[in-house]
Amino acid sequence: MQANPIPTPGELESAESNFRRVLSSWEFVLSCEVIVFGMVIVLVEFLLLRNRNTAAEDILKVFAVTLVIIGTLFAIVAGFDSRQIAPAMGLFGTITGYILGRTAQTRKEGPQQTDGKDETNLTKGEESTT
């Protein structure tokens, strides 16, 4: 087992200049702007939806689609090429399709009925006979 050699001062300076180059690069600045923009959008959505009488699935749908869009923008702006972005886009599309498809499917089914009675319309004193 060999140990890693100790870096020379010249190697340390080049590593330091690479670090400075990343911090001053255009992709880094744009990536930070996209992340800040995404955080602002999520905060605005939260402020708009916190006092509404909305179903949890609808709120999940709003936040999930926003996060997928911001994640996609981040991946594009960060300078990844198409081979690196393609699997992430597939995953984002799958997550969004699942969330949107699941909520649409539950709405189509409506309330479940058993023995001709609608379970959601039972009053306080009634009990289900099933």
pTM, full prediction: 0.61
Among the listed residues 31, 32, 95, the one whose alpha carbon sits nearest the alpha carbon of residue 63: 95
Residue 130 lies in a domain: no
Residue 73 lies in a domain: yes
Residue 86 lies in a domain: yes
Residue 89 lies in a domain: yes
Q: With a cut of 70, which residues of the chain have pLDDT below it?
A: 1, 15-24, 103-130
User: How many structural domains does the chain have?
Assistant: 1
Residue 119 lies in a domain: no
So what's the pLDDT on residue 90? 92
Residue 101 lies in a domain: yes
At residue 111, φ and ψ (nearest 5 deg) are: -70, 145
Among the listed residues 55, 101, 123, the one whose alpha carbon sits nearest the alpha carbon of residue 109: 101
- Give me the domain span that covers residue 78: 55-108
3-state secondary structure of 118: strand
So what's the pLDDT on residue 32? 92
- Which strand (E) or helix (H) includes residue 43? helix 26-49
What pLDDT digit, counting tens, does each position of 67-100 carry?
999 999 998 888 788 888 899 899 989 988 988 8
Q: Give yes or no for a contact between 98 and 115, defined as CB atoms under 8 angstroms apart.
A: no
